[in-house]
């Protein structure tokens, strides 16, 4: 029989699930206690609450809330779980958690959080046994100016793969820290939708670049289609002038704008004839 204290705890958590528009599941399995306290304090200042309890109790609290599709979030409860509550949007919540993570070296037996890539380039290693050590984990090298250089970028561990002791030691020697210490956001519920952690992670630099690329492509398309939008009218006029001038030069229509180009073209053609005729 479930104790009264557990019933009260589930009831309190269920109320939070009902009251908050954003509910997430986090895993703090490998998070040191001290950093967990710092993280909780940081999030509390942003109006974000974390509630820890046993998996079964957290899952029951989610189900008892009867929110749309909340059972999908309950299925994500894993590891050493906690529920996280916020009134912000899921993307800002993910960003806050991500910013408060720190890099850490890999340890044998850990799971790669993403593809671990060793970049091509120079190292500080002199030729020696290190060559075979690097080769053992798939890293090809050459000697350059008395030091080893990695020939090409190589993925030494795919996302989800278990990191071996040999690879962990090699990454440590290369000063590569692929792991992150911090709260592991698993999934977030909002308005009946459940977002996975990957769905919420946005590379801001990449996103900004995509917007810039889209704007550039839109301008190019408008110019090619001769669409007279305010942003491209000046470019259209410039293109029309260049095209008209090119036609005038080809047709030898002498105007103030085409004169120099026609004379230069004529001189080049005459010089070509002279050279061909050996005159």
- Are residues 154 and 218 both part of a single domain? no
Nearest to 70 by CA among 28, 27, 23, 26: 23
- Are residues 139 and 187 both part of a single domain? no
In CATH, what number is assigned to the domain containing residue 137? 3.90.105.20
Q: Answer whether residue 106 is part of any domain.
A: no
Q: What are phi and psi of 210, to 5 degrees?
A: -65, -40
- Average pLDDT of the chain to the nearest whole number: 87
- Are residues 126 and 192 both part of a single domain? no
pLDDT of residue 65: 93
Tell me the mean pLDDT in the region 234-240.
87
CA 248 – CA 235 distance, rounded (Å): 20
pLDDT above 60 (res 253) = yes
CA 269 – CA 278 distance, rounded (Å): 14
pLDDT of residue 24: 93
Q: How confident is the model at residue 279 (pLDDT cuts 50, 70, 90)?
A: low
Nearest to 48 by CA among 1, 6, 4, 95: 95
- Of 130, 163, 178, the one marking the end of a domain is 178
pLDDT of residue 201: 81
Which residues contact residue 81 at a Cβ distance below 8 angstroms, ignoring those fewer than 6 apart? 25, 26, 27, 52, 55, 58, 186
pLDDT of residue 2: 61
DSSP letter string, 47-67: T-EEEE--HHHHHHHHHHTT-
Tell me the mean pLDDT in the region 43-51.
88
- Of 170, 201, 232, the one marking the end of a domain is 201
Q: How confident is the model at residue 74 (pLDDT cuts 50, 70, 90)?
A: very high
Q: How far is CA 123 from the centre of its chain?
A: 26
Tell me the mean pLDDT in the region 44-51.
88
- Are residues 186 and 239 both part of a single domain? no
Tell me the mean pLDDT in the region 12-22.
94
Least confident stretch, 67-71, 131-135, 179-183, 194-198: 179-183
Q: Answer whether residue 226 is part of any domain.
A: yes
Asked if 100 and 146 touch (Cβ cutoff 8 Å), the reply is no
pLDDT of residue 226: 87
Count CA atoms within 13 Å of residue 2 on its CB side.
10
Q: Answer whether residue 132 is part of any domain.
A: yes
Domain around 86: 4-101+182-201
Asked if 113 and 182 touch (Cβ cutoff 8 Å), the reply is no
Portion of the chain with pLDDT greater than 70, in percent: 99
Number of separate domains in the chain:
3
Asked if 50 and 40 touch (Cβ cutoff 8 Å), the reply is yes
């Amino acid at each position: 029989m479930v104790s009264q204290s557990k019933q009260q705890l589930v009831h309190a958590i269920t109320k939070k699930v009902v009251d908050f528009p954003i509910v997430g599941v986090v895993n703090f399995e490998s998070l040191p206690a001290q950093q967990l306290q710092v993280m909780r304090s940081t999030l509390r200042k942003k109006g974000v609450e974390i509630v820890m309890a046993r998996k079964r109790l957290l899952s029951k609290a989610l189900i008892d809330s009867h929110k749309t599709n909340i059972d999908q979030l309950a299925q994500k409860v894993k590891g050493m779980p906690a529920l996280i509550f916020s009134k912000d949007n899921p993307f800002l919540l993910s960003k806050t958690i991500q910013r408060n993570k720190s890099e850490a070296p890999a340890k044998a037996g850990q799971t790669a959080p993403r593809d671990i890539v060793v970049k091509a380039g120079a190292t500080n290693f002199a030729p020696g046994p290190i060559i075979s050590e690097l080769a053992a984990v798939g890293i090809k090298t050459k000697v350059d100016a008395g030091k080893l250089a990695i020939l090409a970028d190589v993925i030494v561990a795919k996302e989800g793969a278990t990191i071996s002791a040999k690879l962990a030691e090699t990454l440590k020697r290369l000063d590569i820290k692929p792991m992150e210490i911090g709260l592991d956001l698993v999934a977030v519920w909002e308005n009946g939708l459940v977002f996975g952690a990957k769905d919420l992670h946005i590379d801001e630099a990449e996103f900004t670049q995509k917007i810039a690329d889209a704007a550039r492509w839109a301008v190019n398309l408008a110019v090619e289609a001769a669409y007279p939008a305010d942003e491209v009218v000046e470019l259209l006029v410039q293109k029309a002038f260049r095209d008209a001038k090119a036609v005038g030069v080809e047709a030898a229509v002498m105007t103030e704008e085409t004169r120099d180009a026609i004379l230069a073209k004529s001189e080049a053609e005459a010089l070509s004839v002279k050279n061909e005729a050996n005159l």
